[in-house]
Structure 1
Amino acid sequence: MSVTTQLEKESAGGEQSAPVLLELRGLRVFYGAIEALKGVDLTVRRGEVVALLGANGAGKSTTLRTASGMIAPREGQVLLHGERVDGIKPHDLVRFGIGHVPEGRGVFPRMTVLENLRMGAYRFASVDKADLDRVFTLFPRLGERKSQLGGTLSGGEQQMLAIGRALMGKPELLLLDEPSMGLAPLIVQQIFDIVKEINEQGTTVLLVEQNAAQALQLANRGYVLETGSVAMEGEASELLSDPRVRAAYLGEGAA
């Protein structure tokens, strides 16, 4: 079902839905001659966690990078609060309330934890102590290591730092790209618990994640990308129980 049709259906049915925060319309993105996104439509409503699933090379990270302004689409639109923001530079788009935690974390290895976090607040005249306190409350380990260089942290600690740095920008929408990659199961659970808490505190989340079970248990809705196109979309619980999803992403035989 197309995004437009879904929105029309909700309006006609009288359903009370949160306003759309982010909308991607017909995104086509190319790397040279290779078409990475083939007309992707996607919506994220205020307060939601939306999961974006798919195999390697399906276009998940490209979708996030396009939404945050790191890649310019050849065709299509990126809308925030109904206003087009495609074409705005990433460092300026942060001012519109988008925070992006990239795959691979991207912490500054020669800066301390505290310096990394302060970099996340670059758009403000000064660092808000309340924002630092919030990050250290969510991630007590970062508070214990605030004078330690980012490059000396463990993988899990670097992921915490990358999320904390994004939160210092006070995002309304947080884009998370593979937060569980390369982490031990216990740390993965901690990260997902914290993402849930961040969402409950009022931050909307668009989550790219290979761990489909974890992602769909956390999310309200989800999309499945296949070779640059949306193959499936729906409520997270419906996708989690769909035999095609279970066969492709949970290692189970299709019913």
Structure 2
Amino acid sequence: MSTEVEQEPRRSAEDTEGGTPLLELRDLHVYYGAIEALKGVSLTVGEGEVVALLGANGAGKSTTLKTASGMIQPRQGQVLLRGERVDGIKSHELVQFGIGHVPEGRRVFARMTVLENLRMGAYRLKRPDPADLDRVFTLFPRLADRRKQVSGTLSGGEQQMLAIGRALMGKPELLLLDEPSMGLAPLIVQQIFDILREINAQGTTLLLVEQNASQALQLADRGYVLETGAVVMSDEAGALLSDARVRAAYLGEAIE
């Protein structure tokens, strides 16, 4: 797929009510030592949207999420939440601003129980809200059944559910998800995406990094494509899903 192609999205976050995106990344340049991982990445996420971030391994997708959540600080550029700059704020403090991050690889606290993991997700609150626990257990009935089980003994799918549930315990307005389907069986992947759709319907905005481009674009409103640290395409999800270049690069279809 050529990096010379760049499209503007048909519906941007600025079109949402109020005119200010929930999240805006402006001209982000991020380095690992001397290696430039992000080369001027800009994107917007409007309140209530699901936005997908696609790209091959090493394209900069995870780095983009880590920069948005404060885990990595950009050398140049800005991260804005509701129009206010938040770059420079540490990740554990940025949770207070309503950003939740579900990292690649789940990273549950393996020696803690399911319930203890969920309570850790609410650490910024004085005490966990029972309504939030009820919400998580309603979304993920398996977690309710395993609330006293040590998390390291859960299946991969159950650990992914726990990682998402733990993030929800922090009451995020914006949830960043990094490869939620990685390593999961197709049936579990479908369950995870059904739950993400319900989470969004309940009012949580989603920015999603996902190798399963078909699932991601069926869930998303809009999408961006990253190549070697730069945005090379952006459009409505349906347009990206039908684009021959996207289908060839990420769905394994030949360009006729």
When normalised by structure 1's length, the TM-score is: 0.95
Structure 1 alignment gaps of length 5 or more: none
Kindly provide the CA deviation profile for residues 154-198 of structure 1, in whole angstroms up to 9, marking residues without a partner as x: 000000000000000000000000000000000000000000000
Q: 1:162 is matched with which residue?
A: 163
1:230 aligned partner, one-letter code: V
Percent identity, aligned pairs only, is 77
Higher relative contact order structure (alpha carbons within 8 Å, sequence separation ≥ 6): 2
Structure 2 alignment gaps of length 5 or more: 1-5
SS at match of 2:59: coil
Distance 1:199 1:85, change over 3 A: same
Q: Distance in 2 between matches of 1:128 and 1:7?
A: 34
Distance 1:3 1:86, change over 3 A: farther
Q: Distance in 2 between matches of 1:107 and 1:146?
A: 14
Say whether 1:104 aligns with 2:105.
yes
Q: 1:37 is matched with which residue?
A: 38
Q: 1:83 is matched with which residue?
A: 84
1:82-161 equivalences under 5 Å are 82-161=83-162
Kindly provide the CA deviation profile for residues 92-140 of structure 1, in whole angstroms up to 9, marking residues without a partner as x: 0000000000000010000000000000000111110000000000000
Q: Distance in 2 between matches of 1:248 and 1:166?
A: 31
Post-superposition offset of 1:5 = 11
CA RMSD of aligned residues (A): 1.9
Say whether 1:181 aligns with 2:187.
no
Contact 1:25 1:39 in 2 (8 A): yes
When normalised by structure 2's length, the TM-score is: 0.94
SS at match of 1:202: coil
Post-superposition offset of 1:254 = 1.4
Distance 1:253 1:70, change over 3 A: same
Q: 1:222 is matched with which residue?
A: 223
SS at match of 2:224: strand
Q: Distance in 2 between matches of 1:6 and 1:164?
A: 30
Q: Distance in 2 between matches of 1:165 and 1:50?
A: 21
2:248 aligned partner, one-letter code: A
Distance 1:219 1:7, change over 3 A: closer
Q: 2:3 is matched with which residue?
A: none
SS at match of 1:170: coil
Post-superposition offset of 1:4 = 11
The aligned length equals 251
Contact 2:37 2:63 in 1 (8 A): yes
SS at match of 1:20: coil
Distance 1:18 1:226, change over 3 A: same
